């Protein structure tokens, strides 16, 4: 056999055996006898020994997996992995369509895709080779699971020659087929192990295993559905899907182009019925604007793209008995009622509790009585919710359930603020769940991200009297003897925790501010406040008008920030944290200006440009003293307009007589 013939035969056998492996392990639907498979594998092995230059690293003859990952490294996403806005309602989907039309006109298409019930993954390829695989995490950063992802047969480790860029990222969903899930779950039960509740949990647990050879035994699959590159290679999302498929990526065959919202609804209705015929779980349909230029024009909110939405199929409902209503106290003092239910199977999991949200839900909408039979739904929420009551099953002498008037933890009289649905316990400095909740929030990943400390540890330390407020965490090094007396808390654990606490002192001001737990000051708001006021002293002294003037900071947030800093105990806590070395000043990047030609001028960039990306134009403006703003107002100095600019934005600019300039005119302004 000549080398050319050997290469062809090796390629053909590799491709065929990979497909047979996929059919057997992933789909649980073998299409070849074991004997025939083994003979082909022997032939491939012999050819690779004779012609080793043609053997690929991911050949079926090679052992998959085996590397041990003790700790998953956290990696920052190059492009944030945002979540999609979602709806279960056709009217909300029509509203989404109207918002799109108002922003970009009527000339656009949608791409409709199945919404897989798995876990998101981001794959980076360099020079045609898989370099890194990272989970979604919190959207900003995730865990590096490259070693485990390399065991997934449908994810190419090396691309064949093609017209793909040297460096790109592709996003997708890792999932497990239903038959493989059933087979593996039965094996777990036979081995006396606990079964997984659903394929998604099984896939998620598998991807985070430490031993990749064990991961390889649990067949996972992956559909890829979105390409990210530094420079746009294609004009539409549909073009990119066809391209990545030609590069060797596993894309879903059921995606479709839709010319209007009626065609979108037709696609949704088709798959609402056909989804049960699939070999994997889907829980809805994702709708995306097809044109990349129009996607850019529509932009993003802090959490999700404005050009895409997920339509969720109506959730499964079950009926069960209400046993009692209990109450949970959150870190902000909000008291939430929870229904305790007779256990019932719902959407693959056993449900024992359901959220009741607030007093109006208990007393007005549902009008719950003791012993009611209720309909429970899992509509995209982690905790199921009660939809309605079966009045036909209500006993004649059943007593109505009234929302409690005192805190279940500290017995303080509850308060309800005007315009809010929730009742609050005002005893924030003496109510145990609030105290513990605030400290748990402070150590969390999105706040101070303190390694070696978890929610259970915080609760244990509080019960032992070691900590009663956030600043006490930074005095734990003074209580090492007491720490050593605690169960399951050895010297190594103590040292890891103290190291984590010490490292947290380097976290930036915005993280510390978010960690303080000021009501309504979430992660995004904390960033805006830190960037605007620069330090804690300016923020503490800010008037209501100054706070309200900050972009996206409304009256409610402004009043909450003022209320927080008007409390002397909070001021004392901030001062103690400052004395312990925490960061209360923004770490501003020093920008070296190329010129001040645009000083004092504000700009908005809209549309697509032939020579520059929006990011490049933003950099040019800022380097020359200009400022980018987010919305058109009478104070805007210039609108830099490219192709495919949204008609609504153009109309508003013209109405306000805002000068509309090209990128060439912008460059002319700075010489």
For 182-203, write each residue's pLDDT tens digit.
888 887 766 666 667 678 888 8
- CATH 3.30.950.10 at 76-312, yes or no: no
Fold of 602-669: Rossmann fold (3.40.50)
Q: How much of the chain exceeds pLDDT 70, in percent? A: 92
Angle at 313 between CA 308 and CA 314, to 5 degrees: 135
DSSP per residue, 473-514: GGGGGGGHHHHHTSTT--HHHHHHHHHHHHHGGGS-HHHHHH
Q: Distance between CA 532 and CA 198 in Å, rounded?
A: 46
Q: Distance between CA 27 and CA 500 in Å, rounded?
A: 44
Q: Which CATH number fits domain 317-393: 2.40.50.140, 3.50.50.60, 2.40.37.20, 2.60.120.370?
A: 2.40.50.140
- Can you give the pLDDT at residue 499? 94
pLDDT band at 30 (very low <50, low <70, confident <90, very high): low
Is there a common fold for 76-312 and 509-579?
A: no
pLDDT band at 84 (very low <50, low <70, confident <90, very high): confident
For 383-424, write each residue's pLDDT tens digit.
688 989 999 999 999 999 999 999 999 999 999 877 777 899
DSSP class of 295:
H
Q: Which two tokens stand for residue 383?
A: 């905790």
Please name which of 239, 244, 261 lies closest in space to residue 97, comparing C-alpha atoms: 261
- CATH 1.10.150.20 at 432-506, yes or no: yes
User: In the annotation, is 115 catalytic?
Assistant: yes
Q: How is the chain split into domains, by residue range?
A: 3-54, 76-312, 317-393, 432-506, 509-579, 602-669
Query: Which residues partner with 68 through β-bridges?
Result: 211
> Class of the 3-54 domain?
mainly alpha
Fold of 509-579: DNA polymerase; domain 1 (1.10.150)
Q: Output phi, psi for 573, to 5 deg.
A: -65, -45
For 145-174, write each residue's pLDDT tens digit.
999 999 998 999 999 888 899 999 999 999
- Can you give the pLDDT at residue 68? 45
- Can you give the pLDDT at residue 191? 64
- Catalytic residue chosen out of the listed positions 8, 49, 115, 601: 115
- Can you give the pLDDT at residue 64? 47
Q: Which two tokens stand for residue 562?
A: 């003022």
What is the side-by-side order of every strand in the sheet holding 119-126?
Answer: 129-135, 119-126, 167-175, 221-228
């Amino acid at each position: 056999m000549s080398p050319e013939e050997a290469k062809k035969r090796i390629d053909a056998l590799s491709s065929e055996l990979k497909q047979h492996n996929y059919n057997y392990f992933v789909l649980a639907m073998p299409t070849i006898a074991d004997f025939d498979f083994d003979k082909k594998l022997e032939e491939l092995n012999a050819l690779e020994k004779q012609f080793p230059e043609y053997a690929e690293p991911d050949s079926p003859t090679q052992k998959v997996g085996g590397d041990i990952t003790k700790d998953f490294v956290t990696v920052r996403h190059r492009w944030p992995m945002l979540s999609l806005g979602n709806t279960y309602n056709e009217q909300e989907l029509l509203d989404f369509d109207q918002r799109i039309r108002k922003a970009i006109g009527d000339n656009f298409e949608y791409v409709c895709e199945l919404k897989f019930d798995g876990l998101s993954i981001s794959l980076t390829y360099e020079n045609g080779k898989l370099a890194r695989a990272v989970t979604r995490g919190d959207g900003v950063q995730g865990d590096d699971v490259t070693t485990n992802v390399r065991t997934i047969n449908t994810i190419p480790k090396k691309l064949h020659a093609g017209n793909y860029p040297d460096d790109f990222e592709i996003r997708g969903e890792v999932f497990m087929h239903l038959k493989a899930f059933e087979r593996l779950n039965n094996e777990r039960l036979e081995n006396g192990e606990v079964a997984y509740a659903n394929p998604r949990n099984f896939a998620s647990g598998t991807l985070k295993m430490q031993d990749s050879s064990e991961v390889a035994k649990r067949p996972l699959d992956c559909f890829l559905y979105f390409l990210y590159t530094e420079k746009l290679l294609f004009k539409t999302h549909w073009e990119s899907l066809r391209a990545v498929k030609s590069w060797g990526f596993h894309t879903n065959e059921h995606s479709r182009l839709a010319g209007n919202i009626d065609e979108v609804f037709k696609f949704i209705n088709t798959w609402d019925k056909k989804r049960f015929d699939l070999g994997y779980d889907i829980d809805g349909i994702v709708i995306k604007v097809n044109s990349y230029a129009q996607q850019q024009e529509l932009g993003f909110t802090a959490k999700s793209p404005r050009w895409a939405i997920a339509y969720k199929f109506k959730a499964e409902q079950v009926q069960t008995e209400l046993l009692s209503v209990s109450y949970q106290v959150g870190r902000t003092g909000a008291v939430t009622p929870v229904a305790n239910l007779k256990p019932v199977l719902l959407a693959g999991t056993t449900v024992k509790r359901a959220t009741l949200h607030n007093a109006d839900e208990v007393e007005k909408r549902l009008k719950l009585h003791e012993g009611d039979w209720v309909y429970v739904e899992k509509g995209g929420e982690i905790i199921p919710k009660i939809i309605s009551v079966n009045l036909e099953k209500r006993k004649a002498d059943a007593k109505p359930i009234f929302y409690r008037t005192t805190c279940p933890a500290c017995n303080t009289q509850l308060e309800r603020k005007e315009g809010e649905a929730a009742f609050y316990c005002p005893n924030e400095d003496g109510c145990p769940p609030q105290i513990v909740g605030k400290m748990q929030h402070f150590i969390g990943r999105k706040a101070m991200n303190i390694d070696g400390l978890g929610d259970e540890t915080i609760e244990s330390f509080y019960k032992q009297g070691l900590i009663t407020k956030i600043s006490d965490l930074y005095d734990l090094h003074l209580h090492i003897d007491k720490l050593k007396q605690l169960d399951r808390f050895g010297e190594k654990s103590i040292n890891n925790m103290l190291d984590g606490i010490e490292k947290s002192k380097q976290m930036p001001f915005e993280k510390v501010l978010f960690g303080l737990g000021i009501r309504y000051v979430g992660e995004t708001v904390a960033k805006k406040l830190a960037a605007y006021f620069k330090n804690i002293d300016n923020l503490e002294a800010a008037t209501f008008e100054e706070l309200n003037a900050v972009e996206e900071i409304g009256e409610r947030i402004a009043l909450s920030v003022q209320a927080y800093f008007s409390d002397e105990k909070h001021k004392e806590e901030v001062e103690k944290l400052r004395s312990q070395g925490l960061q209360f000043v923004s770490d501003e990047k020093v920008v070296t200006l190329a010129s001040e030609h645009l000083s004092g001028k504000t700009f908005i960039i809209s549309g697509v440009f032939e020579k520059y990306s929006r990011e490049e134009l933003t950099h040019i403006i800022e380097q020359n003293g200009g400022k980018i703003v987010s919305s058109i107002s009478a104070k805007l100095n210039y609108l830099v307009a490219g192709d495919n600019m949204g008609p609504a934005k153009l109309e508003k600019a013209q109405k306000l007589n805002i000068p509309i300039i090209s990128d060439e005119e912008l460059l002319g302004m700075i010489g």
